[in-house]
Amino acid sequence: MRVVHYLNQFFGGVGGEEFASTGISSQEGAIGPGRLLQKLLGEESEVVTTVICGDNYAAENLDEITEYVVNAVKAAKADLFVAGPCFEAGRYGVAAGAVCAAVSAQLNIPVVTGMAEENPGVDLFRQEIYIIDSGANVGAMSEVLGSMAVILNKLNNDEEMGSPEEEGYIPQGIVRDAILEENAATRILNMIIAKTKGEDYKSELTQTAFEPVPAPPAVKDLTNATIAVVTDGGLVPKGNPDNMPPIAAEIWGSYDIASLDDLEEGDYEVQHRGYDNRHVLNDPDRLVPVDILRELEKAGKIGKVYKEFLSTSGLANPIANSRRLGQEMAKKLKDAGVDAVILTST
């Protein structure tokens, strides 16, 4: 197997932090950890090219180095691609994750990297690639490389990948069913007894860390501000012109309220199956408060009510999809000069 290996300036033997701005380059053959890696992969495997890049340079030029790496992998006619392992080094982890994801997506060959769970590269890329949990201790290098080699071989041979515990990778967050001997009641009791006694237990689901969204600065002057309303309660005009589905909507709509002083019963319907919608149907202002906002606009307390309300169905809507919907809605409103949004939800 022909392998290309990505390393930072330190593991690539260039030097320490002082060399973090070193640009990206390639060399023939294995360097540093790459030598052990090719041994672990077996006789028929060889690191044909090692790409080395300074952590700062990578962080500041991520697109450029990603393209460089993809080209290098192509040029080497590589079968496998490895980055790191990066342990706790954050810039390195983000770069390693990015290049692995790109190589995998564009060239469709097995890729793997390794880093500590807290490494920022994890949350960014764990769903797209396998990341071995290396922990923080660089002394574990050979074990970590060993686990990485196993992953590569399994991917290469199209073997079924085991659980995170079995294979040593950081959970990708993909959910699969397992049929057990014991029922949920038994598992619940086992876990509560362990937890109450202070013993070890393993939760079947762990928190996903969500990137904190920094709070935008407050609106300085409401009397000059344009306020928009967005809802995920599925309120749409009667007839549902955009065919909004009642669950896990992948679309959103914008509906004209420019000439309206309030929303009236009969003009709207609700595309959302997760709540009893009769009260909102009786008076849609209960979900999208046009009446009050118009009052405030007329009294000069707010500058303007944006001419439309935006709506989607939030029922059972996966996070990745919701993120995209939110980003699209935000862009439209920002481009239209809206200063603040009231988002209503059931």
Partner 1 sequence: MELEIINHDIESMVFGDTTGLSGKELTINHDELKTHLLEDRRIQDIDIQIAVPGESCRIGVVFDIVEPRAKQTGSGSDFPGLLGPFAVAGQGSTHVLRGSAVTVIDPSAFPGITSKMLEMQGEPAAASPYGDLCHLVLSPKLLDNSRRDAVQNALRMLSVKASVYLANVSQGVESDDIDIYNLDQSDTDSRAGIPRIAYIAQIHGHQMTVEVDEPILYGSNTEGMMPMILNPNEILDGALVASYWVMRVETYFYQNHPLIKELLRRHQSKEITFAGVIVTVAASKETDRNRNCMLAANMAKSTLKADGVVLTKYGGGAPHVDMGETARLCEAMGMPTVVQVSDSSGDRKAESAMLFNYPEVDAVIYGGGGDTGWDVGPPERVIAGTPEVAKVLKNLTYIEGGALCGVTNQQGASKIRATVY
Partner 2 sequence: MVGSNRVVQGKGIVYPLGDAEISKEDEKELRRSIVQDALDALTTEVEDQQ
Residue 85 has φ and ψ, to the nearest 5°, of -75, 155
The candidate with the shortest Cα–Cα distance to 11, out of 82, 111, 74, 66, is: 82
Q: Does 218 bind partner 1 (CB under 8 A)?
A: no
Strand partners, 16: none
342 lies in the site for partner 1, by CB under 8 A? no
* Binding interface with partner 2 (CB under 8 A): 210, 213-220, 222, 227, 233, 275-280, 282-283, 285-287, 289, 291-293, 295-296, 301-302, 340, 342-346
Least gap, CB of 223 to partner 2 (angstroms): 11
Closest distance to partner 1 from the beta carbon of 338 (Å): 27
**Restricting to residues 248-277, which ones interact with partner 1 according to CB under 8 A?**
248, 274-276
Question: Given candidates 75, 105, 107, 192, which one binds partner 1 under the rule CB under 8 A?
Answer: 192
Q: Per rule CB under 8 A, is residue 121 in the interface with partner 1?
A: no
Other Cβ atoms closer than 10 A to 322: 15
| DSSP at 267 | S
Own/partner contacts of 115-120, CB < 8 Å, gap of 24 or more, are 115/84, 115/85, 115/86, 115/87, 115/88, 115/89, 116/86, 116/87, 116/88, 117/170, 118/88, 119/86, 119/87, 119/88, 119/89, 119/90, 119/93, 120/90, 120/93, 120/94
135-164: which residues touch partner 1 (CB under 8 A)?
A: 161, 163-164
* For partner 2, the closer CB: 136 or 248: 248
Separation CA 261–CA 290 (nearest Å): 7
Place of tokens 């405030």: 296
Sequential DSSP letters for 189-256:
HHHHHHHHTT-----SS-PPPPPPPPPPPPPS-GGG-EEEEEESB-EEETT-TT---SSS-S--EEEE
Q: Which amino acid is at 248?
A: A
The answer to whether residues 344 and 285 touch, using CB atoms and an 8 Å cutoff, is no
Nearest to partner 2 of 195, 279 (CB atom): 279
Among 25, 153, 172, 344, binds partner 1 (CB under 8 A): 172
Query: Residues 309, 253: contact at Cβ < 8 Å?
Result: no
Residue in the structure block whose two tokens are 């002057």: 221
**Nearest one of 203, 193, 112, 113 to 165, comparing CA atoms:** 203
Angle of helix 33-41 relative to helix 141-156, nearest 10 degrees? 40
**Least Å distance between CB 344 and partner 2?**
5
Q: Which residue has the tokens 């009052």?
A: 295
Residue 44 or 276 having the CB closest to partner 1: 276
Select the binding partner of residue 177 from partner 2, partner 1, none (C-beta < 5 to 8 A, by kind): partner 1
Partner whose binding site includes residue 218, from partner 1, partner 2, none (CB under 5 to 8 Å by kind) = partner 2
Distances (CA, A) of 208 to 91, 121, 122, 212: 21, 14, 11, 12
Q: Could you tell which of partner 1, partner 2, none binds residue 178, using a CB distance below 5 to 8 A set by kind?
A: partner 1
Q: By C-beta, is 179 or 299 nearer to partner 1? A: 179
Return the residue of 107, 292, 319, 342 that touches partner 1, per CB under 8 A.
Answer: 319
**Nearest distance from residue 70's CB to partner 1, in Å?**
26
345 binds, among partner 2, partner 1, none (CB under 5 to 8 A by kind): partner 2
- Min dist CB 82 to partner 1, Å, is 21
| CB closer to partner 2 out of 219 and 248 | 219
Could you say whether residue 282 binds partner 1 (CB under 8 A)? no
Compose the 52-81 pattern: x for residues touching partner 1 by CB under 8 A, - for all others. Answer: ------------------------------
The binding site for partner 1 (CB under 8 A) comprises 127, 161, 163-164, 171-189, 191-193, 195-197, 201, 203-208, 210, 247-248, 274-276, 278, 315-321
